[in-house]
Structure formats: structure tokens, C-alpha cells
Chains A and B, each alone.
Chain A
Amino acid sequence: MTGDDHIANGRTCGEDAAAYALGALEPSEAEAFRRHLRDCPDCQKEVAEFEQITGALPDSGVRYEVPKDLRRRVLAEVRATPKAAASSSRRTSARSWRPALAWGGAFAAVVIVAVVLVVALSSGGSSPRTIQASTGNADLQIASGHGDLIVHRLPQLPAGRIYEMWVQRGSATPTPTGTLFAVRPNGSAAVGVPGSLSGVSAVLVTQEPAGGTLAPTSAAVIVAHVT
């Protein structure tokens, strides 16, 4: 398709380029347009130009000061998160985990709360879906192969403790995602699952020492099975 085609028929991918740059296409349309973009240099150019504009839109509003407690919270988590541990989620190194024994032992030792979510994730599906926990303590939102975990009414942890997220692939030993989080005073939090859920069979959350660990030291308080 050429730029002339866009102008000549007045309706085609050119219209989608603007809506795409604004994030306003429906998920299925956005997916189809992304596929189209790979082979349409005109749309690639147009999207790039529109994204320059949409990238400037945040400047049009009032600027707010970052809440001091947000800055403190973010920097505290960063300082408590060893970069090596954080980046280890991108590796599949066996040394990252002492497999099953630690995991199984932790499970046996302390059972606090287990929320089990069973998620039917079709391999090609891209429609957003929200799966509610049967006990109502967590939702897993899946869109375009990525997940967000929304937790409710989890207890606030004492100083020196933090929630840590893990993923499991198939029946392999779970690996750390590098995601550590605290809950708000009402026990809620919204946490993105890093990376794609492709191949992930379960998302888990445990309580760990601040800074996180490479192997769980307590039972999972959330287990979301992605099948």
C-alpha cells in the first residue's frame, strides 16, 4: 500500500495509524494493525510521526509534584532489590534455584492463604480477560499475552518483609520475576507480571525478606495457574 492509496480511497490503514498512535484501537484491531505495520513503510512513517505528537501530549496538562512517600517507597524497593537477583528472572540458570526441596519445604512449613486461579489462556487469544479469585483476594488480568495481578486485602507486612512474585513454566521449578511489592493500607496492589505469559503455567506470590530471595522461604499466598 502506498501513501497515495491512503489519500485516494480515504479509508484504510491511514485512519488506523492515528487511532493506533493514540492507543484507541480495539485490542483485536491493534493486533491486526501491528501485523500490517511490519509490511507497510507508509504506515510505519505515519505512526512514527503521530507518536512524536502523542508523546508530547503529557506536557499539555498541569504538572503535579511527586508525592514524597512515593519517591521514598520506590527508592527503598530499588535499594532493597539486588540487581543481580532482579535480572536473574531473564536467565534460566539452574543456580537461581534450589529446586523443589526449598519450595516443598516452604509449602509444608507455613500455609497462610492460598488463592488458586485457573486461567484458560488460549494461545492465540488477545482479548483482555479478568479472572477473579474464588476467594475474592486476587484478580489476574490478561491482555495480549501479558498479565497484571490485582490483589485485595492482603495483610501489610512488617518492616523487613515484602511480597515477591514468581512464575512457573510447565512443571519446572518457579523462578523469581524480580518483582517485589508492598500493599497499600487497604491491602490492595496492582502489579504487572514481567514479560510475556507465553509458556507460563503459574504465577505465584510469597512473603519474603526485604530485597527478595532467589528461592522462596515461605508458602505461596497467591497461586495463579495459567493453563
Chain B
Amino acid sequence: MRFRQGAMRSLADEELMQLVQDGDVRAFEVVFDRHSSAAFSLAYRMCGRRATAEDIVQDAFLSLWRSGSGYDPRRGSVRSWVLSVVHNRAVDAMRRLGAKSGLDVPDEGIAERLPAAETTDAEVERRDDARQVRTALDELPPDQRQVIELAYFGGFTHTQIAEMLELPPGTVKGRMRLGLTKLRFFLGEESRVTI
């Protein structure tokens, strides 16, 4: 079945992925346009280096094109899967390159912040979700938020965080668990973000 580009953009991600797996470049283009900004933002925030972030995003999307890289619709959305691949590759890259947290790494090219245009219902909903997540993080005790951010965005293991903060490893794991449990509570079942 062939779709006009406009019709293609109205398809759900899961439908697009079926077309991608059949080799439809236009479907891939729509998937890329929907999720590449979130993917690049995550990689850039983690690595703090535009070139590295670009490599990670390029590699993730090309692997999606080549083989779907194991995407399984039963295990979550395309968006969460793409971000998971990007996150894993960013962690690998940071550990491989011995990079510190992206927060204090000098950049070799400044990325442009995305304009705040809210042109679609989906984008409006996503921005609402983002606000909820930021609010929930802000509600966390600083020590719990710190270990979560160091782990997820900094790519550090709990052992590294424990050394960094001069804490027993069990304390770090405990703070991670408490923090995630509170986030789960803050975000709640009804207002759970769509990912």
C-alpha cells in the first residue's frame, strides 16, 4: 500500500515501523522527524559534545533502518525504544571515551535550542508531559535527584557515584530506589507521561 506524504504523517509510529521494515524511506523520514529531536537532545545533554551526540543519533537511526534493531511493539513505544537505544549508546560512548558528565565538558559546537512552537496536539501533549516530569524531579529531595541524574544523564555506575559522593554503595542504590518510587508516585498512573 502506498501513502501520500501527508497521509504518511498521520500514521501511528507502530504502523510506520511496519513500513520501515519493508524498506519505505518516507516512513523512516517521518519516524526520524518525530523522534530525532528528543534523541539528539538526550545524547547532547549526556555527552555535552555535539559531534558525539550526532554520531550516536546517526548510529541509532541507521540501525533502526537496517534491522529495526530488535524493536518489539509489545515492549513499548517507538519513542521509548529510540530513546533507550540512544541512552545505551551514549552511556557506552561516555564510558569508552572516559568522558565526565556532559554538564562540565566543553563543547565544540553549540546546538540550537528548539523553538517553542506547539503546532500539533501531540507536541502540546508532549510539552505538558515534559513539564510534569520536570516538576516531579524538582519535588525530589536533592540527594535523590542527584543520584538519579548522575546515573541516567551522567552515565555513572552506582559504584562511581558512591566514590564521587563518598557514600556507601548501598546508600546510593537506596536513594535511587526511593527517588524512582517517588517519581512514580508523583507522576501517578492517571497522569503518567506518554513515552
Binding site for B on A (CB under 8 A): 11, 14-19, 21-26, 49-67, 70-71, 73-75, 77-79, 81-84, 86-87, 89-90, 128, 130, 141, 143, 148, 150, 177-181, 184, 189-192, 194
Q: Chain B at the A interface: mostly helix, strand, loop or mixed?
A: helix
Contact of B157 among A25, A148, A180 (CB under 8 A): A25
Interface residues of B in 50-75 (CB under 8 A from A): 50-52, 54-59, 61-63, 65-67, 69
Give the residues in chain B near A143, CB-CB below 8 Å. 92
Contact of A25 among B65, B155, B158 (CB under 8 A): B158
The interface centre, meaning the residue of A73, A75, A82 with most chain B CB atoms within 10 A of its CB, is A75
Say whether A59 contacts B133, CB under 8 Å.
yes
Give the residues in chain B near A15, CB-CB below 8 Å. 170, 173-174, 176-177
Say whether A83 contacts B22, CB under 8 Å.
yes
Between A and B, how many residue pairs show CB distances below 8 Å? 203
* A63-B37, A71-B36, A148-B92 known; A194 vs B42 contact (CB < 8 Å): no
Interface residues of B in 16-73 (CB under 8 A from A): 22-23, 25, 28-29, 32-33, 36-38, 40-42, 44-45, 50-52, 54-59, 61-63, 65-67, 69
Say whether A65 contacts B59, CB under 8 Å.
no
Complex Cα gap A70–B158 (Å): 33
Contact of B192 among A25, A52, A79, A150 (CB under 8 A): A52
Give the residues in chain B near A81, CB-CB below 8 Å. 62, 65-66
Complex Cα gap A150–B56 (Å): 12
Give the residues in chain A near B57, CB-CB below 8 Å. 66, 70, 74
Given contacts A23-B151, A89-B66, 13 further A-B contacts (CB under 8 A): A15-B174, A15-B176, A22-B176, A23-B88, A52-B184, A57-B148, A58-B45, A59-B126, A75-B29, A89-B67, A90-B67, A192-B63, A194-B63
CB-based nearest A residue for B69: A194
* A63-B41, A73-B58 known; A50 vs B173 contact (CB < 8 Å): no
Nearest chain A CB to B110 CB, angstrom units: 9
Give the residues in chain A near B62, CB-CB below 8 Å. 74, 77-78, 81, 179-181
Give the residues in chain B near A78, CB-CB below 8 Å. 25, 28-29, 62, 65
* A24-B151, A63-B37, A75-B32 known; A56 vs B187 contact (CB < 8 Å): yes
Complex Cα gap A184–B172 (Å): 39
Say whether B157 contacts A189, CB under 8 Å.
no
Complex Cα gap A51–B155 (Å): 16
The 8 closest A-B pairs by CB, nearest first: A83-B23, A18-B177, A24-B151, A59-B130, A63-B114, A22-B151, A64-B111, A18-B176
Give the residues in chain A near B69, CB-CB below 8 Å. 194
Say whether A65 contacts B112, CB under 8 Å.
yes
Say whether A64 contacts B76, CB under 8 Å.
no
CB-based nearest B residue for A69: B54
Give the residues in chain A near B56, CB-CB below 8 Å. 190
